[in-house]
Structure formats: C-alpha cells, structure tokens
Amino acid sequence: MKLIAPSILSADFARLGEEIKAVEQAGADWIHVDVMDGHYVPNITMGPIIAEAATRSTSLPIDVHLMIENPDQYIPEFIKSGAEWISVQAEACTHLHRTIQMIKQAGVKAGAALNPATPLSAIEWVIEDLDYILIMSVNPGFGGQAFIESSLDKIRLLKADLKKRKLSPLIQIDGGVNSKTIERISEAGVDVFVAGSAIYGSSDYKKTISEFKEKINK
C-alpha cells in the first residue's frame, strides 16, 4: 500500500487546522510535519506545539521530520505531541542508534533521513531497527525545490539492499514530488510520498491526491 503524506510546510498557517482537515478529506494518508531549527537547516519552521495542534486536527497519523541539531533534547516533547512516526536526520545525530532507541522505546515508529549527499552506508548498522527510511530528494530547508534525479538510483540501491537483508521498513521520499516526478519515484520503490507545494499549491487537493494515487498504484 503506497501512502501520500502532504507536508504542512506549504499549507496556509493562518488556517492550519482547516488545511489539515482538507487534505484528510481529499484522501491523504499521513500528515507530514517539517521541523527546522535555523541551525541544522537555514530555515525555522515549527515545534512540538504545532505537532500537537496537528494531532488534534485530524485522525490521520502525524509524521514528524526533525531537521534539527541535537534531536535527543526535543524528541520527548514530540512524543508527547502525539506523533506516531518520528524521523531524525542521520547526519545530525551523534549517537544515531541511541536516538532511534529513544523513539522506539516510547512506542513511536522511528525513521532515519538521509540528505542527498549522504551515502546509504550511514544507516547500515541501525537499518534493522528502522521502521522507515527517508530519502531526501532535495537539500532540506525549503519547500518548492526541484527533485534531485540521483535520488532514484539511491532508492533502487536501498530497495535491493533491503531485499537482500530480508527487511521491510517503509521507504519515504521528500522533496520535489509532483505529477511529473511521482511515477518514476514510485517505480524505483518508494512507499510513502511527502509532497508540500504540489498539493497545497494546487487549487483542488482532492484532484491532485487522486492523480498521485492513480500514478503510484498502477
């Protein structure tokens, strides 16, 4: 089952609750919350207060992507917010194994995200513990960037590696997902598609999500 996770980064924050409900009614499967701290990435977005408000606005699972330094300090607050899935940037973790365990011990699904320049080997020794792996297909920090094509080979390599290891964490993609790229991304082996500007920038969320679903469920 392939899933669509709209990123609220591109939503209208003056009407955030309505915007979350709107994508739920339009067929979204998860709600993706992009947390940026102005240090790990050159942008500041939202924190646990917004993640908690998001959980109250929908019955869909909240997926928190931490693009922050020192995630261990903030993970307990995001767990309290009600998030069901939390991913950390592998590059931002001094002790990635410990961070993953911290998330899992709270009964929350744990993911590791990899920047476009980070090799898959960065997660080799935690891969068995991961519930999902997030391949960043843009450099993190901003919505609306162009999809980096080399991400497709990275997904294919990851898919083959997981098969060899007989592991099945979800593969998530984030950045530049739109009606032109989604089919190729899906064919490479992605399970969860994060899309911000392509959904929230469209005039009809239902039409956009339905078109995405048609393309990924062929």
The residues of the shown chain that bind ligand 5RP, judged by CB under 6 A, are 7, 9-10, 34, 65, 67, 138, 140-145, 174-177, 194-198
**In the chain, which residue ranges form alpha helices assigned H by DSSP?**
16-25, 48-57, 75-80, 96-105, 151-165, 182-188, 197-200, 205-216
Please choose, from the candidates 134, 97, 122, 108, the residue with its C-alpha nearest in 3D space to the C-alpha of residue 51: 108
Give least dist CB 41 to ligand 5RP, A.
Answer: 6
204 is in an annotated binding site: no
Nearer to ligand 5RP, 101 or 145 (CB): 145
Give the rounded distance of the alpha carbon of 91 from its chain centre.
Answer: 16
Torsion (CA) 107, 130, 1, 46 in degrees, nearest 10: 70
Give least dist CB 95 to ligand 5RP, A.
Answer: 23
Give least dist CB 32 to ligand 5RP, A.
Answer: 6
**Residue numbers annotated as active site:** 34, 174
Nearer to ligand 5RP, 55 or 87 (CB): 87
Nearer to ligand 5RP, 169 or 176 (CB): 176
Nearer to ligand 5RP, 81 or 178 (CB): 178
Beta strands in 19-95 (DSSP E): 31-36, 62-67, 85-89
Residue 195 CA to residue 8 CA, distance in Å, equals: 9
196 is in an annotated binding site: yes
111 is in an annotated binding site: no
| Contact (CB, 8 A) for 121 and 158 | no
Numbered residues of the known binding site for a divalent metal cation:
32, 34, 65, 174
Going by the annotation, the residues of the binding site for substrate are: 7, 65, 141-144, 174-176, 196-197
